[in-house]
Amino acid sequence: MSQSRFRLYDTAALDRVLDTMARQAAALLDTRPVTLLGVLRRGAPLADMLAERLRTRRPELAVDRTDLRVKRYGDDLTLLHAATSLSATPEQQAAAFSGRQVIVVDDVLYQGYSAFRVFEFLRAHGADCVHLAVLVDRHCSVLPVRAAIVGLTLQIAPDDVIECSVPPFESVFAVDLLRLR
């Protein structure tokens, strides 16, 4: 099987995309404390970048950060778990999210399974205000999941893969299209 890679967005372009995402987030939030929850792996550094920008735009907000390990697909979209796996630390299992605004941050919204699993976890822990922020929305979710904060909307062929490279996991911040044929 041959493979072609096309760079769609480089670091400079993605910095502007994150600025736009921060504006979207700032407009959604009221004065309650905020938790940015990064979906590990790549959602965590994206949540850090978004938190930094949000603190600059809305310095009056109390902004906290945490991460959750959630896995369904591999980086190449190979199914790893039939039921989405979520691993919470003991501290996260004991956490209460009531009275807080939660923004779940992930790199790509594909079919919605990972986001839905995180929403279930948050609801069980008292969250009543949850927004999803994604760097890339592929607009092909299977579950009724929509992102409120979207950096890019990329509708691509079903067999193509959107690959987000996010430091520190990769050396460069970029979005590529990977065509497997």
State if pTM tops 0.75.
Answer: yes
If 0-12 CB within 10 Å is exposed, 13-18 middle and 19+ buried, where does residue 24 land?
middle
Helix (H, G, I), strand (E, B) or coil at 155: coil
Query: What is the Cα–Cα distance from 82 to 85, expressed in whole angstroms?
Result: 9
pLDDT at 81 (0 to 100): 56
Residue 79 pLDDT > 90, yes or no?
no
Which range of 63-72, 81-90, 145-154 scores highest in mean pLDDT? It is: 145-154
Query: What is the Cα–Cα distance from 21 to 12, expressed in whole angstroms?
Result: 15
Length of the chain as a residue count: 181
Q: Quick check: 163 and 75 in contact, CB under 8 A?
A: yes
Range of the domain at 67: 3-180
Q: Give the pLDDT mean for 135-155.
A: 93
Q: Quick check: 147 and 158 in contact, CB under 8 A?
A: no
Residue 126 pLDDT > 90, yes or no?
yes
Say how many C-beta atoms besides its own lie within 10 A of residue 112's C-beta: 20
Give me the CATH number covering residue 127. 3.40.50.2020
How far, CA to CA in Å, does 60 sit from each of 32, 63, 128?
10, 9, 21
Structural domain count of the chain: 1
